[in-house]
Amino acid sequence: MATKKTTAAKTATAKKVESFDLNELKLVKKVTFGYFGDPQGYEESLYETKDGQEVLYTNGGADSKYTKASFSTSKTAIAAFKKANA
């Protein structure tokens, strides 16, 4: 199973977010927008843990929609990624 770290997110309603070790995940699909170093560029990557859990990793430049690297196990976010990148 992938190593998980749980931390409190700094939001109006503190919620738990999970962090995964990318070296322990299997890459299913990666989509990039822009070029390396592009402040508006970003990447969306779908990974799978050894136990079959899907994880969406997003990261981007300072002016992109993903200014911080994050992981999501949201079924809605993963379904939207799959639909947009079928």
Biggest CA-to-CA distance, the chain: 35
Q: Kindly indicate the confidence band of residue 19, based on its pLDDT and cuts at 50, 70 and 90.
A: confident
Give the chain's mean pLDDT.
84
Question: Residue range 20-34: average pLDDT?
Answer: 94
Instruction: State the first-to-last Cα distance of the chain, in angstroms, to the nearest integer.
Output: 27
pTM: 0.76
Q: Which of 34, 26, 85 is nearest to 63 (CA)?
A: 34
Q: Kindly indicate the confidence band of residue 59, based on its pLDDT and cuts at 50, 70 and 90.
A: very high
Q: Look at residue 22 in the predicted model and tell me its pLDDT.
A: 87
